[in-house]
Structure 1
Amino acid sequence: MKAAPSSLLDASAISLSGLCLAHCLALPLVAAFSPVVATWAEAEWVHALAIGLAAPMSALALWRKGQALGVIAMSLAGLALMALGVAHWPSHDAETPITVAGSLLLAGAHVFNWRRRHACRT
């Protein structure tokens, strides 16, 4: 079976980060008006699923021989912050800012990877 191209994985990971940001920032506003959405917004399985998709997708797209150390550091820091946010550390109130920061770092790592890969081709 042929492996997915790295640029497709980067684009998918950036899109997943965008969904994470929408979930963290917009969904609470929508949830204020709908109890059904509020229940779904707080479901722990949604957060576990997001981390479960983000970690392997990032590993496939970013962690390869010759990868820039900064890209790897950004991706690890982003994943760590996302995991801390999901674990409600240091507090439940800090979940959103920590998770958003992690999502932005991870998306940034994928953007840098994408740009670096395309710069090498030209």
Structure 2
Amino acid sequence: MKSPSAALLDAGAVALSSLCLLHCLALPLLAAALPLFGVWAEAEWVHLVFVAIALPMTGFALWRAERRHPLPALAWLSAGIGLALLMAGALALPSHAWETPLTVTGSLLLAATHIWNARHRHR
């Protein structure tokens, strides 16, 4: 039986990744229609806030899961790469043109890791 708090952490992490995806994919479309949203879509602090929330949440969720059952190296690797891609996107590394692809890929990788972790707990 899974712990409600562990399930909540994974659900929160997936929700945050989804919010990040929504920000990266839907907000630019809204920005084209509504200039007010354009200011928020281009705000660099938003990306840093998402990363600042994602780093400890992912770390804590995976650390807690590791305590219950050893996680494979692939889970740690995909979470680490996902976080690194989010960080690179937030810092616009290597360039601003790579920001969205890096952030979307990192969000999807993190969400997939958390979904895998949630499903793995059932076995």
TM-score w.r.t. the length of structure 2 is 0.90
Structure 1 segments, 4+ long, off by >3 Å, are none
User: More helix per residue: 1 or 2?
Assistant: 2
Are the counterparts in 2 of residues 6 and 60 from structure 1 also a CA contact under 8 Å? no
Corresponding position: 1:11 with 2:24: no
Gaps of at least 5 residues in structure 2 are none
Describe the shift of the 1:89–1:20 C-alpha distance in structure 2 as closer, same or farther (beyond 3 A): same
What is the CA RMSD across the aligned residues, in angstroms? 1.4
Q: 1:29 offset after TM fit, Å? A: 0.5
Structure of greater relative contact order (alpha carbons < 8 Å, 6+ residues apart): 2
Q: Which moved more, 1:95-104 or 1:66-75?
A: 66-75
Q: How many residues align?
A: 117
Corresponding position: 1:44 with 2:44: yes
Q: Which moved more, 1:47-56 or 1:60-69?
A: 60-69
State the alpha-carbon separation in 2 of the partners of residues 108 and 77 from structure 1: 12
Gaps of at least 5 residues in structure 1 are none
* Equivalent residue in structure 2 for 1:77, among 81, 94, 97: 81
Q: 1:69 offset after TM fit, Å? A: 1.3
State the partner residue of 1:100. Answer: 104
| Identical columns (%) | 50
